[in-house]
Chain A
Amino acid sequence: MPRRTLQDRYARFQKIGLQAATQLQAFVGAEQERPLWKQLSEEAGEAAQDMAALLLSGTWRTPDDEVDRRIEQLLQGQHLGEFGVDPFGYAPESLRVMVPVMDFMLRLWFRAECFDLQRVPAGRVLLIANHSGQLPFDGAVIASAMLLEHEPPRMPRTMVEKFATALPAFGNLVYRSGSVTGLPDNCRRLLENDECVLVFPEGARGISKPFRERYRMTAFGHGFMRLALETNTPIVPIAVVGAEEQTINMFDFKSLARILHTPSLAITPLMPLIGPLAMLPSPVKYRIYFGEPLKFEGDPNDDEAIIAPKVAEVKNAIQAMMDRGLRERRGYFV
């Protein structure tokens, strides 16, 4: 047997690498004619250039006087107690320290592009969005856009899974920034106070779905529609495009999730190398589409069969905007 030469070994590695790349492409879905790796590297280059330009120009930061004005406007419309906190634990003043983080997410990391943001009307309104990306950055980015780009500024009160609000530090953060535990009673009271409430009717089902099911919305809960009917609230459908690719969930480690008492545990490609850090999102580009406000009428206590078509109407509106977003985008990172 002749000894294998270095070239042989190199050729073999190349072959394995090529096979892996082909398999990855098959797994990710080969929609493009360009090889995926080539596309991604081009996009990454472009995204890096964009980020560098934003960083150098400093335009990603909201100017301080602008922040002051926005917080001031938030405070005006809010009934706060003696200590500047509402009964749900929301303290608008505490948003001031979060603005840099919001700027970073909204303008630099995800370079979010909002379409028809001004469609969100004044007064009570329900924002209904698709949920994706393993960690709820979509909620944070929508909230940031509403606070930093919408006129007048509004802080959406996000309905958060009770698992998340019970987490140390994170729970505190979400309460102070206006989120509440996702209970119908909380939502009803907020809407009666003419707040802007953000709901992800897919909940944990939607956010933790595996990568191969991206842009396929899971079943919507019906609770939001009943509350909208009860409180006579317009619904603004929102489609978030881009968040699905921020963290690649190869499979859901259900048994371990059960032990850790989490709703799901996504295993991502980089997890063997960098552990939990692999849950952090890659700098995908967010496209957020705001739909026309939808008004519904009817009995909030109707049968599921009567509520379901109304929910489907909202879901279809989101689906249509999502399809548009997927058609329009050039890539994952640009």
Chain B
Amino acid sequence: MARRKSLVVVTGVGGRLGQLLARRLHRQEDMEVAGIDRRAFPRKPADVEHFRIDIRRKAAEDLFRTRQVDVIFHLGLMHDPRQGSGEHHTWNIRGTQQILEFAHRYGVPKVVILSTGDVYGPAGDNPAFITEDAPLLGAQRFAALRDLIAVDMTAQSWFWKHPEIETVVLRPAHILGATHNAVSNYLRLPRPPVLMGFDPMMQVIHEEDVVAALLAAATPGIRGVFNVVGPDALPLRTLIEVTGKQPLELPHVVLPAVVNRLFQMRFSEFPAAELDYLRYAATLDGARAREILRFKHHYGVREAVAAALRRDIFDGAVEGPRKKARPRASVRVG
């Protein structure tokens, strides 16, 4: 008589981290994995179910209604500020609200939400170790982050609204890997731009380490907010040195205006507010995750950078299976 396999739902399973997480989960004997994502899941393992639906739709509810879900990993957040801002906003906030609502309605005991370390935001007066209690000021200069902060807050409100659900919020440092996020894209530039006279401390983490943290967060009994930090922080220019590239030194006085214009004209992938990341540090304190999650990173800075620079394996939302990765238009900044 076999025990019921536990059912794990992964939202945003078509994204790089979703795929990695699903692959890790499906190898475990006692687990069934169901993914929700509008995007495709190329080279999907056969025993992973994939529902190509929008989590905001009624159809998503059926999954929770008909089957007993044990863990939800909510990775289906849009981080890309180039998506239309209205869509971005409702997707992230309503999507998260919906997931939490399902968890409450259908008695899911555990929800793990992958927020981001960006919620704190870079600033000249940040402490060198930002703890989980720090105010979420990420949107003070970078308005596109508002919805990600709202998501984080919504999840936090669940701690006291529904104490019966173990809600975990993870806030990882800059994730490096074969994915399209701001910092990985930045390091792939032929000459990553830096601001003259500024060399802030940066924290990067390998994508596999983030997956390991997600799995650790699913341990029964774990709840709360955790910063997820990889190897020791290092100066931005040293990070670029690790890639073997030459930084492009730009004056910080005129740059924001130029970059903003380029962004508006869609010549650059970086809104000017992101320049703050090249100027000020936002380094997290990972002590809580080390103590409570027993999370320890496995990959160093060099491995994380290598993972970001290895481009052949993944290219965002590839339509259809087995399609060869298209090289995306290279980014032109400055």
* Residue ranges of A at the interface with B (Cβ–Cβ < 8 Å): 81-83, 85, 87-89, 91, 162-163, 165-172, 175, 180-181, 183, 185-186, 189
Q: In the complex, what's the smallest C-beta–C-beta distance from B275 to chain A, in angstroms? A: 13
In contact, A87 and B129 (Cβ under 8 angstroms): yes
- Closest Cβ–Cβ distance, residue A249 to chain B (whole Å): 25
Within 8 A of A (CB), among B175-203: 195-201
What bracket does the count of chain B residues touching chain A fall in?
A: 20 to 34
**B318 CB, nearest partner CB in chain A, Å:** 35
B191-221 CB mask vs A (1 if < 8 Å, else 0) is 0000111111100000000000000000000
Nearest B-chain residue to A187, judged by Cβ: B127
With an 8 A cutoff between CB atoms, is B84 at the interface? no
Q: What residues of chain B lie closer than 8 Å to A83, measured between beta carbons?
A: 232, 234-235, 238, 301
B281 within 8 Å of A (CB atoms): yes
By beta carbon, the residue of chain A nearest B302 is A82
Q: Do the beta carbons of A85 and B235 come within 8 Å of each other?
A: yes
- Tell me the interface secondary structure of chain B in the complex: loop
15 A-B pairs, CB-CB below 8 angstroms? A82-B301, A87-B128, A87-B283, A88-B201, A89-B199, A89-B201, A89-B281, A167-B197, A168-B195, A168-B198, A175-B201, A183-B127, A185-B127, A186-B127, A186-B129
Query: How long is the Cα–Cα vector from A163 to B280 in the complex, in angstroms?
Result: 12
B290 at the interface (CB under 8 A from A): no
Whether A168 pairs with B238 at a CB distance below 8 angstroms is no
Asked if A82 and B199 sit within 8 Å, CB to CB, the answer is no
Q: Would A166 and B280 count as touching, CB distance under 8 A?
A: yes
Q: Assess the B234–A171 pair: CB atoms within 8 A.
A: no
Write the nearest CB–CB distance from B64 to chain A, whole angstroms.
42
- The answer to whether A168 and B197 have CB atoms under 8 Å apart is yes
Query: B195, A162: Cβ atoms under 8 Å?
Result: no
Among B233-265, those with CB < 8 Å from A are 233-235, 238, 252
The docked-state distance in angstroms from the alpha carbon of A180 to that of B201 is 12
- B125 in the interface, Cβ–Cβ < 8 Å? yes
Contact residues in A for B42 (Cβ distance below 8 Å): none
Of A81, A170, A186, the residue contacting B233 (CB under 8 A) is: A81
Neighbouring A residues of B283 by C-beta, 8 Å: 87
- A87 touching B238 by the CB < 8 A rule? no
Interface residues of B (CB under 8 A from A): 124-129, 195-201, 231-235, 238, 252, 280-281, 283, 300-301
Interface pair A82/B234, CB less than 8 Å apart: yes
The minimal Cβ–Cβ distance linking B234 to chain A, given in whole angstroms, is 5
Q: Which 4 pairs across A and B sit closest by C-beta, in order of nearness?
A: A168-B197, A81-B232, A166-B124, A169-B197
| A-side contacts of B280, CB under 8 Å | 166
Chain A residues contacting B233 (CB-CB under 8 Å) are 81, 85, 87
Chain A proximity of B162: nearest CB distance (Å): 32
A172 touches B198 (CB 8 A): yes
Assembly CA distance A168 to B198 (angstroms): 6
Query: CB-nearest residue of chain A relative to B203?
Result: A87
